[in-house]
């Protein structure tokens, strides 16, 4: 960030969120945009130290309005001006968090980089060749490439978008699910009623079925709604040839039936645990005049 500020690619801004939104929506500059790099660097260091003189400030990118980038896959490449996407009009790159304790480092750091600034740098430093991101980040693609270019990062990353998975009649937002967990409406993130991986695994989903479902989605960019029936059908397809067959009656819903002309002694016969898979072995079936049946059948 210091390099970016010194080279005139970032500046300190004290505007409110509403003011920044108004600037992006109506395409006009922030009054702080042309402050000298020396003053911006001074404010950035104060921001990192949590000093009062930096109160209300954040660090914004100073994006070239004429900067263009190549957008799309090999079949539909097009040159796009970064300024055409409002979210790329001088996005916030660093924020003060001096009054909020980090869950790992506590109050050691007073300011943190934002997603739009951190990701392209981390991806480049870690040698990521292709970064896969869900489609809602597509408008930020130009900003991602811009950061890697102006910082002259040695390794460039190629972005590929894919559509988000949406399930019918299902809330997948972690923020909304967290509220339900925090309100103790469920047992936790692994509640069988939850659309989380832990939840559906606890409900009986197998890793094989989940993997097959996800692979069949493919890297499509088209937003669609998926039915739960499909993933559970895969699960049944996997479990059916492997599951032994047993007869079970709930104790609370059971009733005894006496067959007056039934055999006096109990007879035992062995039957296969699975009609189509004899390798599973057998199970004993007892025959007698005293039976246990469902109450509804009594």
Q: What is the pLDDT of residues 211-262, one digit of tens each?
A: 999 888 777 777 778 899 999 999 999 999 999 999 889 999 999 999 988 8
Residue bearing tokens 């409900």: 203
Same domain, 18 and 35: yes
Confidence check: pLDDT of 75 > 80: no
Distance (Å, rounded) from C-alpha 45 to C-alpha 53? Answer: 10
Last residue of a domain, one of 122, 138, 162: 162
- pLDDT over 70 for what percent of the chain? 99
User: Which domain range does residue 280 map to?
Assistant: 254-297
| Interval 124-177: pLDDT, tens | 999 999 999 988 899 999 999 999 999 999 999 999 888 888 899 999 999 999
Q: Tell me how far apart the alpha carbons of residues 147 and 121 are, in angstroms, rounded to a whole number.
A: 8
> Does any domain span residue 258?
yes
- Do residue 266 and residue 220 come from a single domain? no
* 11 and 46 co-located in one domain: yes
User: In the chain, how many domains are there?
Assistant: 3
Residue 143's domain is classified under what CATH number?
3.40.50.620
Judging by DSSP bridges, how do beta strands 10-13 and 254-258 pair with one another? unpaired
Of the three residues 109, 140, 162, the one that is the final residue of a domain is 162
Whether 58 and 191 share a structural domain: no
Structural contact between residues 39 and 82, judged by C-beta atoms closer than 8 angstroms: no
Task: For residue 18, give every residue at least 6 positions away whose Cβ sits within 8 Å of its Cβ, in sequence order, or none.
Answer: none
Residue 158 sits in the same domain as residue 288: no
pLDDT in tens, 132-145: 998 889 999 999 99
Does 247 fall in a domain? Answer: no
Whether 258 and 283 map to the same domain: the answer is yes
Distance, CA of 293 to CA of 131 (rounded, Å): 58
Query: Does one domain contain both 264 and 134?
Result: no
Let me know whether 104 and 174 are in one domain.
no
Q: Would residue 288 count as lying in a domain?
A: yes
């Amino acid at each position: 960030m210091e390099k970016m500020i010194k080279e005139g690619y970032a500046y300190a801004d004290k505007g409110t969120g509403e003011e920044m939104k108004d600037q992006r929506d109506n395409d006009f500059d922030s009054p702080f945009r042309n402050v000298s790099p020396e003053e911006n660097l001074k404010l950035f260091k104060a921001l990192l130290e949590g000093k009062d003189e930096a109160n209300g400030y954040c660090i914004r990118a100073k994006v070239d309005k004429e900067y263009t980038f190549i957008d799309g896959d090999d079949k539909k490449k097009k040159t796009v001006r970064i300024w055409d996407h409002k979210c790329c009009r001088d996005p916030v790159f660093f924020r003060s968090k001096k009054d909020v304790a980090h869950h790992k480092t506590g109050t050691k750091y007073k300011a943190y980089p934002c997603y739009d600034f951190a990701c392209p740098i981390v991806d480049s430093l870690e040698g990521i060749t292709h970064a896969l991101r869900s489609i809602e980040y597509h408008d930020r693609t130009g900003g991602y490439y811009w950061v890697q270019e102006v910082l002259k990062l040695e390794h460039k990353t190629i972005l590929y978008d894919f559509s988000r998975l949406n399930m019918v009649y299902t809330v997948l937002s972690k923020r909304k699910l967290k509220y339900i967990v925090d309100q103790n409406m469920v047992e936790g993130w692994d509640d069988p009623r939850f659309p989380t991986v832990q939840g559906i695994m606890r409900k009986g989903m197998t890793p094989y079925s989940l993997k097959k479902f996800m692979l069949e989605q493919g890297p499509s960019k088209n937003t669609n709604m998926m039915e739960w029936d499909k993933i559970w059908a895969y699960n049944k397809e996997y479990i059916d040839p492997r599951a032994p067959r047993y007869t079970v009656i709930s104790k609370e819903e059971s009733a005894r039936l006496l067959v007056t002309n039934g055999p006096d002694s109990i007879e035992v016969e062995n039957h296969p645990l699975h009609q189509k898979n004899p390798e599973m072995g057998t199970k004993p079936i007892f025959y007698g005049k005293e039976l246990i049946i469902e109450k509804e059948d009594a």
